[in-house]
Structure 1
Amino acid sequence: MPKSTAYRKLVLMVKKLLSYGTSPSKIAITITLGMMFGTIPIWGVSTIILAAIALLLRLNMVIIQLANYLVYPIQLLLYLPFLKLGGILSSKQAHTLSYGSIMQFAKTGWTTALAELGTLHLWGLIIWLIFWLPLSVLSYSLLLKIINKKKAYIFSGYKR
């Protein structure tokens, strides 16, 4: 399976940062946060949230946004399931929810869309947090092992 350009850029950036002395744990947390917030069930906010996180925590902006970009298709796939689960928890009827109905709400005006979908988004966000908290720990741990292995290759002179 061919690897995407964004993936290759991410790997190259990780190698560069390792050679500059950036700690593997900082790189792993940057990628993990990019993946985590890249799947948030609210369209259009991940880039802004991640930029703020990168500035606040002094993380690499390019890596965090590349990770965000790489998981964007996953955000699209998980958006409706998060909202539907939110509907189940909030006792709202979300079983008929579709991308078309969401677009219809958006066409009627953002205030109407917010009134109709606000609760579902709130509950979807809670489910997203429940889903991502344990997954982010696992993701961080796996990434840290991979990056440490890459670091050993880079500093031993073997380039993979």
Structure 2
Amino acid sequence: MASFFTRLAFGMGPWFHTKIVDPLLLILRRGAEPKQLAFSAALGITLGVFPVCGVTVFLCGMAIAVLGSLCHAPTAMLANFIATPIELSLVVPFLRFGEVISGGPHFSLTSDALKKVLTGQASREVLQSIFHALLGWLVAAPFILATLYILFLPCFKILVRKFSTTVPSSPKKPLHSHAEVRLKVRDV
């Protein structure tokens, strides 16, 4: 059993590095602002846990288009990608939360319910459960976004400081003095 987990960890290592670590390092090295990165990552995950599978990338793309320069698109999309397994695990909690908020009937998640769904006998119940899950997400989304932003901001401040390759420009100190520029022009 231990060898299974060891093989799984070693098999996931290169994939994890290629799909998550390398893109994150590339983003950090380009010198984006920590506040923008934290907001974009929080937004990507918040939209990534939307309880209807298959539409999160579309939602994220729409948010990027609407927010424009306020959102760092690669960070939001990477966070959306990372949120996929979390999305699947939160569908039922969003469903239950939506049922509590609306006071609606409890959707039974049994094998009989699955059979009814597959045969088309539970179409009204399924639509109602989707509505409840969407309602649960809609109410929880602002809190998820705010909490993730608060958690990510110090992390991105540290990461940007550590991995950024751009030199911050200071209004008090020019990058080149006028004498250096004249010398370079005369040499040419």
Q: Structure 2 length as normaliser, TM-score?
A: 0.62
Q: How does 1:8-157 map to 2 (within 5 A)?
A: 8-56=18-66, 57-58=68-69, 59-94=71-106, 96-97=108-109, 101=113, 104-105=116-117, 108=120, 112=124, 115-129=127-141, 131-151=143-163
| Structure 2: gaps spanning 5 or more residues | 1-8, 168-188
Matched-pair contact (CA < 8 Å) for 2:28–2:160: no
CA distance in 2, matches of 1:105, 1:11: 39
DSSP 3-state at the match of 1:43 = coil
Matched-pair contact (CA < 8 Å) for 1:84–1:97: no
Q: Structure 1 length as normaliser, TM-score?
A: 0.71
Larger Rg: 2
Instruction: Report the alpha carbon displacement of residue 60 of structure 1 after superposing the two structures with TM.
Output: 4.5
Instruction: Report the alpha carbon displacement of residue 82 of structure 1 after superposing the two structures with TM.
Output: 1.1
DSSP 3-state at the match of 1:93 = coil
Residue type at the aligned position of 2:152: Y
Instruction: Report the alpha carbon displacement of residue 99 of structure 1 after superposing the two structures with TM.
Output: 8.6
Matched-pair contact (CA < 8 Å) for 2:94–2:137: yes
Q: Greater CA deviation, 116-125 or 37-46?
A: 116-125
Cα root mean square deviation, aligned: 3.4
Matched-pair contact (CA < 8 Å) for 2:29–2:160: no
CA distance in 1, matches of 2:31, 2:166: 11
Q: Percent same amino acid among aligned pairs?
A: 21
DSSP 3-state at the match of 1:74 = helix
Matched-pair contact (CA < 8 Å) for 1:39–1:78: yes
DSSP 3-state at the match of 2:81 = helix
In structure 1, what is the equivalent of residue 171 of structure 2?
A: none
Change (3 A) 1:143 1:94: farther
Matched-pair contact (CA < 8 Å) for 2:34–2:153: no
Deviating above 4 A after TM superposition, structure 1's stretches of 4 or more consecutive aligned residues are 1-4
Change (3 A) 1:119 1:32: closer
